[in-house]
Structure 1
Amino acid sequence: MSQLTVAVSEDGLNEQLQAVQENVAVEIEGTFGEGGFEVAYELGVRLEEGTVELRPDRFDLDELDVVYDPVRFEVRFDIPELCTPSVCIPGFLGLGETCLPQICLFETDPDLSFVLDLGGIVESEVSALLAAHVEFFENPDRTPGMTDLDAYDDDVLDAWHVVIEPVTFDIDIVDLADTVGNALEKRLGDEIQSLIDAIPGASQVISAAAVFDFLRDTFDIFDDLQEAIHDEFETGASLGGTILFELAEQFARTKPITIPTPFPAAEDDPETAAEEGRDVVLVPVLLPLERPRVEVTDEELIVGLDVGVEQ
């Protein structure tokens, strides 16, 4: 029996992968905090730099980067005013008393406000074993009474679709909550130190570490931050699960090869007929396609089908 063979190269599959990557995106935003502090956050994920590599009887998705961008936190603190006591030392030897001035922190509202931006810094990686199979697509626009020629004329032929699906996934997800928490802890410490340094003499009587501990214990910010990120990204429909689901969905929508059936093996049109001096447009030769099969080599993804002749 005659056969029809259609193939797509590794480069062609990588072009399809680019389209898949561009359509996978995860984005969330929100706020949390109470009693003196608030954090507004914007978190997202995109995919970059993956490649499809063909091997005999299999093909792989390698080194697909998961880039966390944006990872942006706007932190605002309204901190209770902290003042050192005004201490006076009685005078002696005829000298008057000496008083240490009172120093106050956190007199404004908000007292601390800064943006922590980690976009593009945090990354992980996905790899997958991929498989291809052929599915029959029955065109819903083809009505029951149509002949194959009618369907051809109305461009509603049925088709065989090659579908790519992930068989196994390997995803390396970073602990985003700990990563952000550590970065925020360092940034908050720097902001407190800058605030103290801006007040003459404050660094002599106020410890930045003590203020930091006070804020951490009073507002419980780091536990709340990690809990919020954990709830948004790492429980239920987890970030890793969401990425894998989106990838699988996009691969399912990607059809690297679509073959209409019956297949128009010989076509004609009025322009060609006129150029050849013919008054009649020839009826196309339509070949029914059956029994599809897929083969993967180290160069191509190949689909073979058995054909017959129908006009």
Structure 2
Amino acid sequence: MADLTVAVSESAFQRLFVVLRDSIRWEAQDMTNFGPFTAGYHVKGHLEGGSVDFRADNSVLIDELDVRWDKFEFTLGLDIPEICVGGGCINMPWPIPDICLPRWCVFSANPDISISPDLAAFVAQELSVAGRPVVRYYDASIPPPVIDPCGFLRDILVDNSIIDPFPDHNQWHIHLNPDFIDLDLFDFADIVGNLIENALTAAVTALLPGGWVRDLILAIIGGIADFIRWLLDIPDEIDEWLSDLFNISFGLGDLLIQLIGEFFGACVPLIRVDDPLEVLAKEISTSVLLSGSPVELVAVTVPVRSLSVYVDNAEMVVQADIGG
């Protein structure tokens, strides 16, 4: 039978989880060249909501976490093939100078147009995490690895007074090791597709000169909207193309899932237990000597052995042996 048993209720765990949830923030950016166009993103986000459910199979479900995007800037640049109209010369007999027609070229830059709308208001997702509590031992005598992503994350949390730094003594750590993390796919609404299409159409239109030159160029490329779809190789709606871009090409959801998994499973313990465990703090006492002179009493600590943890549908139970 264990010497020490501590039970954590579901409501207490919920309060602990909220503190850690509020510390999870991320920022990411990337740009990819797809040939005729480049696309990228610059995003910032955090988590809100979420409910904790202890389950009888020794697991914890954190459900209905809201993914909130503080910034969701999407950048799209088009490299449109150059189109030239006019030009050419009529050779005249000497001494009459040749007659040359004016020449107009458009889409000579790279990229020719670029837009960067912020889509944060149009992106809504939910995330769920299910995992099992695991125990790991932190040995303060072992130096951290040379490359330590968790150390970088913990330093940020410590600097912002969200968690305490790892101590100079040993500890038992309890983590939530994820069994699965479920994140809604990016699914952009029709209004987002219309917004991007209108922005691209306006940008292309602004590059075209007026008069007969514009009419001739439009006759070459056809309708601007269809021309843009041809450049982007979009068979369906722009909003569907954008969803595929973020879900598959960018893999932004995978990055978020990896962040959440490493945060709970490896980087930030839910519960820490000192080893040795202090049972009586150091103090100055005046009741030891008959004279009443102050005496410093040293702290009383005991070693913690064989710490374990399990969950049922009511509480999380931590057990350990003391001494030995």
Range into which the TM-score falls when normalised by the shorter chain? 0.5 to 0.7
Q: Which residue identity lines up with residue 70 of structure 1 in the other structure? A: F
Show the counterpart of 1:117.
117
Show the counterpart of 1:96.
none
Contact 2:48 2:68 survives alignment (8 Å)? no
Show the counterpart of 2:19.
15
| C-alpha RMSD of the superposition | 4.6
CA distance in 1: counterparts of 2:228 and 2:54, whole angstroms:
57
2:241 corresponds to 1:242: no
Show the counterpart of 1:292.
307
Give the 3-state SS of the residue equivalent to 2:282 in structure 1.
coil
Show the counterpart of 1:221.
232
Q: Would the alpha carbon gap of residues 267 and 210 (structure 1) be closer, same or farther in structure 2, given more than 3 Å must change?
A: closer
Q: Would the alpha carbon gap of residues 275 and 78 (structure 1) be closer, same or farther in structure 2, given more than 3 Å must change?
A: farther
The 5 A counterparts of 1:56-95 are: 56-57=55-56, 58-67=59-68, 69-73=71-75, 75=77, 80=82
1:170 to 140, 164, 182: 182
CA distance in 2: counterparts of 1:137 and 1:241, whole angstroms:
29
Contact 1:126 1:172 survives alignment (8 Å)? yes
Contact 2:131 2:179 survives alignment (8 Å)? yes
Contact 1:268 1:282 survives alignment (8 Å)? yes
Q: CA deviation at 1:11?
A: 0.9
Show the counterpart of 2:31.
30
Contact 2:127 2:181 survives alignment (8 Å)? yes
Contact 2:67 2:127 survives alignment (8 Å)? yes
Q: CA deviation at 1:245?
A: 1.6
Contact 2:119 2:192 survives alignment (8 Å)? no
The 5 A counterparts of 1:88-167 are: 106=106, 113=113, 115-120=115-120, 121-140=122-141, 156-167=168-179
The size of the alignment, in residue pairs, is: 268
Contact 1:124 1:173 survives alignment (8 Å)? yes
Contact 1:134 1:163 survives alignment (8 Å)? yes
2:272 corresponds to 1:258: yes
CA distance in 2: counterparts of 1:135 and 1:111, whole angstroms:
52
CA distance in 1: counterparts of 2:287 and 2:85, whole angstroms:
95
Q: Which residue identity lines up with residue 174 of structure 1 in the other structure? A: F
CA distance in 2: counterparts of 1:262 and 1:107, whole angstroms:
71
Contact 1:31 1:39 survives alignment (8 Å)? yes
Q: Would the alpha carbon gap of residues 52 and 306 (structure 1) be closer, same or farther in structure 2, given more than 3 Å must change?
A: farther
CA distance in 2: counterparts of 1:136 and 1:78, whole angstroms:
58
Q: Which residue identity lines up with residue 43 of structure 1 in the other structure? A: H
Show the counterpart of 2:97.
none
Show the counterpart of 1:43.
42
Q: Would the alpha carbon gap of residues 275 and 239 (structure 1) be closer, same or farther in structure 2, given more than 3 Å must change?
A: farther
Q: CA deviation at 1:118?
A: 3.5
Show the counterpart of 1:210.
223
Residue-by-residue CA offset, 1:106-141 (whole Å, 9 max, x unaligned): 599799645241431223322111221222222217
Q: Which residue identity lines up with residue 255 of structure 1 in the other structure? A: P
Q: Which runs of 5+ in 2 are unaligned?
A: 87-101, 144-166
TM-score, length-scaled by structure 1 = 0.64
Q: CA deviation at 1:64?
A: 2.5
Task: Name which of structure 1's ranges 5-14 and 247-256 shifts more when overlaid on structure 2.
Answer: 5-14
Show the counterpart of 2:297.
282
Residue-by-residue CA offset, 1:18-39 (whole Å, 9 max, x unaligned): 22x22xx3512336477xx764
2:190 corresponds to 1:184: no
CA distance in 1: counterparts of 2:31 and 2:48, whole angstroms:
29
Q: Which residue identity lines up with residue 184 of structure 1 in the other structure? A: I
CA distance in 2: counterparts of 1:77 and 1:170, whole angstroms:
37
Q: Which runs of 5+ in 1 are unaligned?
A: 85-101, 143-154
Q: Would the alpha carbon gap of residues 232 and 307 (structure 1) be closer, same or farther in structure 2, given more than 3 Å must change?
A: same
The structure with the larger Rg is: 1
Q: Which residue identity lines up with residue 115 of structure 1 in the other structure? A: I
